[in-house]
Structures are given as C-alpha cells and as structure tokens.
Amino acid sequence: MKFAFFDTKPYDKPSFDRYGAEKGITFKYFETKLNEDTVGLARGYDGVCVFVNDTVNAEVIDRLCEMNVKVVALRCAGFNNVDMKHAFGRIHVLRVPAYSPYAVAEHAMAMLLTSIRRIHKAYIRTKDFNFSLSGMTGFDLHGKTVGVIGTGRIGRVFIDICRGFGMKVLAYDKFPAEGLENGDTIRYVSLEELFANSDIVSLHCPLTEETYHIIDEASLAQCKKGVVLLNTSRGALVDAEALLAGIKSRQVGAACLDVYEEESEFFFEDFSGHIVEDDVLARLISMPNVIVTSHQAFLTEEALSNIAETTVQNIADLFERQQCPNELCYRRGNAEDCKDGRCF
C-alpha cells in the first residue's frame, strides 16, 4: 500500500517508516498541507495520511474519490477538519482515538503551572541575571476549584493530576462518565455552575457545532473574575476576540492556549521573520498573562510512536480484514447509521 502523507514534519518520519515497513506500507512525505490546491498530489496513492490542520472538505473528498484514493487516515484523535457527512458512503476515514492522554493532560498542567508561578517570566529574567522577584507572586493550586469541560480520556487524566494537587473538580460533559464523581471533591455540574465557581477552566471536549465558541463573551462574563483559562483541545472552542477583550478588562486572569482559532495559518511553521497579520493572535501573544504553545500538547516520544503504530495498524486492518475498529465513517454503509459524522 502507498500513502501520501501531508503536513510532514521531521519528527513524523522515523516512527511511520518503522511501523510502515513492518506492514508493507510506504509513505510518500509531503511538507504541504492537504487542501483543494494540493489534493492532486494524492493521485496514484491508496490513501492519504493527514493531521489536524489538513483540510478534508467536500471538494477534497470528491477529488480523492475521483482519483480512486480510498482512505483518509487521520493521525490524530479530533476529526473536526473532515466533512464527515460528505465522507459517509464515499471514503474510509480512520483515526487514532487515543495515543497518549497523558501527553496532553500533562502539557495542560505544565502550562497552568508555568502561568500561575510565572515560570515564563522567571526563565527570561534569570537568563539576564535579573534575580528580582517583583511581579512574580503566584497562587497555590491546592484548594482551588478547576472546571473541566469534557471528561473523556484526556479530561479524566487531567482531573487525576489536579486531584494530586489537592484541587476540587467541577466537571461538565454531555455524556457524564459513570463512577467519576466521588460525592465530594469531584462533581458533575451544569455549565453555568462550572463557570460561576471555577478558579480555572480547562477545555477537554471535541470541537463540534455545539461546542463551537463554548467560551465566548457570555460565558466569560459568568466566570469568576480572574479566571484562568486552559485550552489544549481545539482553537475554535474559544472566541479569541472575546478572550482578548476578557484579558484587557481583567475578567480573565490568565490564558494558556495550545490551540488557536485560526491556527492553521500559523501553527507548526516558523513565522519569526514575518509580519504576522493576525492582530488578535499578535495581541494575545503580547500579553504577559497569556502563554501560547503551537499545538504541541501531543508531542511526546510516546505519543508519536503510538500515533504511528495505530495509524499503520488501522490501514492494515482495513486492507487485510476490510474492517477497522477506528473507522469513523463506513464507506459502504447505511447513511441512517451516521449521526454527527460518527457511525454507530
């Protein structure tokens, strides 16, 4: 099998070459992202392997089908960049549902600690032999309340980490997890209650029509003054302009963003020599209480290895057994079974 691999970074290749060789799958690595302009590169391949900022919309899917490309193998968990309704009945869509929830949850906590203990400031200060402590006062996490939106794999690991710090947890999920509440320090509540009572709000739900801008002007207004916002999930969960306004008004005490609404324009690339046109991103980055990382929460050795292993296994399952447990959308199936782009 031959796969066209889009948005390739140097750290992708070793694991994919290793696991691919074991299963007889070769990858042709393209640095460009998949979109309407680049889809032609997939001609002659059995499938495409794509990541979070590749575009798999209706036009791209139609062009892939015309070229007899049979599979979209996502090497990530989220699939908001795929038009699942259009894909249904046309092309196989595989994903990696979990590769290391620890990588993302630990990054969320790393960002939180960095922010509230001013590590980002201290790092720069001491590099310049400035050992002053003014402006460095943080706060204890112990005893604070964290609101966790989305209690799936990553959300639950993040809750475990927060419990290790002695924090109280208010959770919200469309489908609450059985057995998570302990009647004391971990409780499911409504979104309104979560916003009103959390010192920190952390997002761990997928991006869907329902969760788009779940953090906006109205929800920020419901939050405690000085709330710390963590987003390691998907950029468009947060209305970036409303967040900037919240930072300026001091309603938001700090924000830690691993993802950004318009990140596909910038993230994973070096723009250090360029004039960045996105004023909201530039202004957010300029704030002393905003930390931005470039969608790197997943980026651990363990996660990269698991991503490659599962992606290759998904492809092998589909071609060898004609079925794959990580298929999102059956190419030949009953459209009635496809709800919200997921097959049940």
Question: Does 216 engage in binding with ligand NAD (CB under 6 A)?
Answer: no
Q: Which of 60, 200, 297, 329 binds ligand NAD (CB under 6 A)?
A: 297
Burial 130-142 (b: 16+ CB within 10 A, else e): eeeeeeeeeeebe
Q: Is 325 left (phi over 0), alpha (psi -120 to 50) or beta?
A: alpha
Closest CA to 307 of 1, 101, 55: 101
CA separation for the pair 93, 48 (Å, rounded): 10
Q: How many residues bind ligand NAD (CB under 6 A)?
A: 31
Residue 9 binding ligand NAD, by CB under 6 A: no
Q: Is 238 helix (H, G, I), strand (E, B) or coil?
A: strand
Binding region for ligand NAD (CB under 6 A) out of 34-42, 133-141, 208-216, 329-337: 208-216
Residue from 41, 78, 85, 294 in contact with ligand NAD (CB under 6 A): 78
Determine which residue in the list 1, 94, 96, 149 makes contact with ligand NAD, applying CB under 6 A: 149
**279-286 and 240-248 helices, crossing angle to 10°:** 40
Q: Are 305 and 58 in contact (CB under 8 A)?
A: no
Would you call 22 a catalytic residue per the annotation? no
Q: What residues from 102 to 141 belong to the interface with ligand NAD (CB under 6 A)?
A: 104
Chain CA centroid to CA 310, Å: 18
| Residue whose structure tokens are 């009647």 | 183
152 binds ligand NAD (CB under 6 A): yes
161 binds ligand NAD (CB under 6 A): no
Please classify residue 250 by burial: count the beta carbons closer than 10 Å to its beta carbon, then call 0-12 exposed, 13-18 middle and 19+ buried. Answer: exposed
Using rule CB under 6 A, residue 155 touches ligand NAD:
yes
Which single residue brings its beta carbon nearest to ligand NAD? 152
User: How many angstroms separate the CA atoms of 217 and 243, rounded?
Assistant: 7
Applying CB under 6 A, among 74, 234, 313, 318 the residue interacting with ligand NAD is 234
Task: Report the residue count for the chain.
Answer: 344
Is 263 catalytic? The answer is yes
Annotated catalytic residue, options 234, 261, 309, 327: 234
Task: Write down the catalytic residue from 92, 95, 107, 295.
Answer: 295
Rg for the chain, CA atoms, rounded: 21
Judged by CB under 6 A, the residue of 34, 50, 69, 77 near ligand NAD is 77
Q: Is 239 left (phi over 0), alpha (psi -120 to 50) or beta?
A: beta
Nearer to ligand NAD, 45 or 260 (CB): 260
Q: Least CB distance from residue 259 to ligand NAD, whole Å?
A: 6
Residues making contact with ligand NAD (CB under 6 A): 77-78, 98, 101, 104, 149-155, 172-175, 204-208, 210-211, 232-234, 258-259, 295, 297-298
Active site residues: 234, 263, 295
